[in-house]
Amino acid sequence: MNISHLLANLQINGICYLGAIPQKEKFVQVDLGENLVGENDESFAHIASSLIENIEKNSTVLVTSPTISSGKTYSAANLALALSKKNRIGLMDLDLRLPAIKTYLSLPNSQMDFEPFSYNSNLDVFYNTKNHEDPTKFLESTQLGKFITEKKYNYDYLIMDSPPLLEVHDATLLAQKSDAVLLVLRFDEPGLKNIPQFRQRLFHSHPKPTFAVLNGVEKTRRRSA
């Protein structure tokens, strides 16, 4: 599938394309704040700008992907950092099975679960420091729903990183607690032909605004929305 066909497929399925993330020669888990200094700075600034043009203030945005290797956590953290340049942002790590925000941003262990950690003057990060015995039960809980509703009004935008869409049911549960969904798609991912299934998997009823970014796109193949 070439990029023109992919973008047409997204449009047909009601998914708004926000932009592309350049292909990297090698992906390393490093401090993502440093990555914004490189070529990705322009990409995530564009994606952040496009996103806030399409959603209201105090919105919760769920970031997910079809599979584990799409770069969703990388994208969620960089998007939060880009948004925090001009907005008050909350970033929640709700991938309770393989949490990675803490590692990517080099956050400390010494705090209570989901207490805000001030990464910079405009960005607070919420993450857990222990494994949940029953992630599904926690994600379904009224307690988490109330927590998200309360916190989103403390920020211009609340970004939530979730597990991959096709791996477990967690993203579907969290989509019910979000105002919008951002799909991170790798251009070379074989499952991209199944885009209609992504929305069906996310929303059994009452679809919400759904956006997409393409990760791992060669510069020569990039195309603006």
**Residues 202-211: pLDDT tens digits?**
776 678 999 9
Q: Would the pLDDT of 119 be above 90?
A: yes
Which phi-psi region, left, alpha or beta, contains residue 174 (left: φ > 0; alpha: ψ -120 to 50)?
alpha
76 CB contacts (<8 Å, ≥6 apart)? 63, 91, 101, 159, 160, 161, 184
pLDDT value, residue 1: 60
Please name the amino acid found at residue 166.
Answer: L
- Range 103-118 average pLDDT: 86
How far apart, in whole angstroms, are the C-alpha atoms of residue 64 and residue 170? 10
Q: How confident is the model at residue 40 (pLDDT cuts 50, 70, 90)?
A: low
On average, the pLDDT of the chain sits at 84
Please name the amino acid found at residue 196.
Answer: P
Return the higher-pLDDT residue of 59 and 42: 59
Q: Look at residues 132, 140, 136 and name the one whose alpha carbon lies nearest to residue 114.
A: 132
pLDDT value, residue 197: 77
* Helices 72-83/40-54 angle, 10° precision: 80
Q: What is the pLDDT of residues 154-189, one digit of tens each?
A: 999 999 999 998 878 899 899 999 999 999 998 777
How far apart, in whole angstroms, are the C-alpha atoms of residue 61 and residue 55? 9
Q: How confident is the model at residue 216 (pLDDT cuts 50, 70, 90)?
A: confident
Q: What is the pLDDT of residues 6-33, one digit of tens each?
A: 888 889 888 999 999 887 644 444 444 4
Q: Look at residues 134, 201, 212, 210 and name the one whose alpha carbon lies nearest to residue 169.
A: 201
Return the higher-pLDDT residue of 37 and 63: 63
Q: Would the pLDDT of 199 be above 80?
A: no
How far apart, in whole angstroms, are the C-alpha atoms of residue 142 and residue 145? 5
